[in-house]
Chains A and B, each alone.
Chain A
Amino acid sequence: MRRFAFTCRIEFCLLVRNFFGFFFGLIFPLMMLILFGSIFGNESIAPGSDLRMMDLSIPGYSVMVMGVAGLMSFPLTMAECKEKKIYKRFDATPVGKKHMILAQITVNLLLAAAGILILWLAGKILYQVQIRGSLLLAGAAGLLSMTSMFSMGFFFTAVGKGAKISHLLCYLSYFLMLFLSGATVPDLLFPESVQKIAGLLPMTYAVDLMQGIFAGDGLGMHKKELLVLGGLTIVFTAAGALLYRKKDWA
């Protein structure tokens, strides 16, 4: 355990130095919150509704943070380590590459958790945002959404020999989902054709689930989202593991 904690500490230092994950996971969502909050305020989403803009924006930004960690920071690190054969060197130690990969996942999960916590604290202080649903359910929904992002990122690292294809898939999927899933821009503003495309994106389901649970919905109201996110997690993890079994790490 001490060994793993130390590896996580080193991976955390590397994460901070790599700037991308650190900035887009912790600082950028906060900037979005303040920027959009100052432009659009925190009005009711519809006349008579007690739900306000920020009640929907913060769960959306939270999914954005999950995407940064699961679809960008973790898979880009893993793809680089795979391409440069850094894992090969760790395979020639008593701990092996699994230890390093697990530490990279842990650190990125913690990054996402910290990013979400900062967002909610800022939302509470600046816009009096409240979690209407159960905290436990919110945590479970967050964990499932996060797992699905990480499993997708893991699958992308397994595709292709080098890191180029993995990078392309990560950037493409992240930015496409960032703008079309409703994480940053409410999907109700999109034309119907774009909404249809959004319906094909995994992040859309994570945003819907998070927004619903935080607004006080029960899990029963989000069976479709749970099924899609759970199914995608299983499929992407299994497909990634299958591709890695055939890979030559040496």
Chain B
Amino acid sequence: MAQAIVEVEHLNLSYKNVRAVQEVSFMLERGEALAVIGPNGSGKTSTIECVEGLRKPDSGSVRVFGKDPWRRRGEIYRQTGVQLQETEYPAKIRVEELCRLFEHFYERPADWQSLLRQMDLEDKRKRPAGKLSGGEKQRLSVVLALMGRPKLIILDELTTGLDPEVRQNMWTMLRAIREHGVAVLLVSHYMDEVEALADKLLYLDEGRQRFFGSQPAFRQWAKSRLSPDVWQEGGTLEQLYLQLVPKTERITMEGIL
């Protein structure tokens, strides 16, 4: 039987009067990659932050390695690495110091020098974290996420702001770590990325779960919801997704240009 790494059942979370997450349930097993997709404000990051133990759900159950991440956060992070959507570090801390600091947090840390090399950050070792570019910060966050040799890695918009070459390298890296049995939970707006990397999809919209299942099952589900004249057999995930999400009004730029 496959080993469940993340189990979420009937998750609900509100901010004041806004119901950010409603009745979301999903599961992630060892060596699987699950992508959480949906428009901005659909509850993706809120859902992920409940799994990360950074937010306390209003109701429902979240289990990571069989433990409640809100109550036993320290324990789950012995086996979990994360890259948060927005990460800041003390401005004057050097890349090397940050790596050494994180190295001390784990019992069996990875070789951070090798990670820096692989993320093409070796020449930035002495640079203050505050002086790194957006892409460099993103790559550094991956180095730190991998520092504890995680069995689960959570990546929130990993490749946002990265150039195409670095994106490709990230994909290669993710495929390689999955081969080692690491479960990957990622949030992404890039459907080409999701199509290339994810086994399963969790599609959220306005905090509600619209779909959870495999990529082929998602295509079947989408086909059943779209009219035959819109449906494209063999279309990309991005084409499919754009047909599913609510449309914005046509942009005409009338009266502006």
Determine whether the beta carbon of B54 is less than 8 Å from that of A93: no
Interface size class of B (residues with CB under 8 A): 20 to 34
Contact among A17, A80, A81, A95 for B74, CB-based, below 8 A: A95
Determine whether the beta carbon of B84 is less than 8 Å from that of A92: yes
Determine whether the beta carbon of B55 is less than 8 Å from that of A250: yes
Instruction: Classify the secondary structure of A's interface with B.
Output: helix
Q: Any chain A CB within 8 A of the CB of B102?
A: yes
Determine whether the beta carbon of B88 is less than 8 Å from that of A93: no
Determine whether the beta carbon of A13 is less than 8 Å from that of B97: yes
Determine whether the beta carbon of B148 is less than 8 Å from that of A94: yes
Determine whether the beta carbon of A3 is less than 8 Å from that of B88: no
Contact flags B142-153 to A (C-beta < 8 A → 1, else 0): 000000100000
> How many angstroms between the C-alpha atoms of A14 and B78 in the bound complex?
26
Determine whether the beta carbon of B90 is less than 8 Å from that of A91: no
Determine whether the beta carbon of A17 is less than 8 Å from that of B105: no
Given A94-B148, A96-B73, A96-B74, decide whether A88 and B54 contact each other with a Cβ distance below 8 A: yes
Contact among A6, A18, A89, A95 for B89, CB-based, below 8 A: A89
> How many angstroms between the C-alpha atoms of A84 and B90 in the bound complex?
9
Report which residue of A2, A6, A7, A249 has the largest number of chain B beta carbons within 10 angstroms of its beta carbon: A6
Question: Which residues in A have their C-beta under 8 angstroms from that of B84?
Answer: 88-89, 92
Q: Any chain A CB within 8 A of the CB of B6?
A: no
Question: Which residues in B have their C-beta under 8 angstroms from that of A86?
Answer: 88-90
Question: Which residues in A have their C-beta under 8 angstroms from that of B53?
Answer: 91-92
Determine whether the beta carbon of A250 is less than 8 Å from that of B77: no
Contact among B52, B82, B104, B106 for A7, CB-based, below 8 A: B104
Contact flags A1-22 to B (C-beta < 8 A → 1, else 0): 0110011001001100110000
| Total number of residue pairs linking A and B with CB closer than 8 Å | 63
Within A91-146, the residues touching B (CB, 8 Å) are 91-96
> How many angstroms between the C-alpha atoms of A81 and B86 in the bound complex?
14
Contact among B55, B77, B89, B97 for A93, CB-based, below 8 A: B77
How many residues on the A side are at the interface (Cβ–Cβ under 8 A)?
A: 24
Q: Which residue of B lies closest to A6 (CB)?
A: B104
Distance in Å: Cβ of A51 to nearest Cβ of chain B: 43
Within A47-97, the residues touching B (CB, 8 Å) are 80-81, 84-86, 88-89, 91-96
> How many angstroms between the C-alpha atoms of A163 and B92 in the bound complex?
18
Contact flags B47-80 to A (C-beta < 8 A → 1, else 0): 0010011110000000000000000011101101
Q: Which residue of A lies closest to B102 (CB)?
A: A93
Determine whether the beta carbon of B101 is less than 8 Å from that of A94: no
Contact among A13, A93, A250 for B49, CB-based, below 8 A: A250
Q: Any chain A CB within 8 A of the CB of B93?
A: yes
Q: Which residue of B lies closest to A77 (CB)?
A: B90
Contact among A3, A6, A92 for B52, CB-based, below 8 A: A92
Question: Which residues in A have their C-beta under 8 angstroms from that of B89?
Answer: 86, 89
Q: Which residue of A lies closest to B147 (CB)?
A: A93
Other than the given A6-B101, A93-B148, 8 more pairs (CB < 8 A) read A6-B100, A7-B104, A10-B100, A85-B87, A85-B88, A89-B84, A96-B74, A250-B55
Which residues of B pack against A, CB within 8 Å? 49, 52-55, 73-75, 77-78, 80, 82, 84, 86-90, 92-93, 97, 100-102, 104-106, 148
* 8 A-B interface contacts by CB (under 8 A): A13-B97, A17-B92, A92-B77, A92-B82, A94-B74, A94-B78, A94-B106, A96-B74
A-B pairs, 9 with minimum CB distance: A84-B88, A250-B54, A17-B92, A92-B82, A94-B77, A6-B104, A3-B104, A93-B105, A10-B101
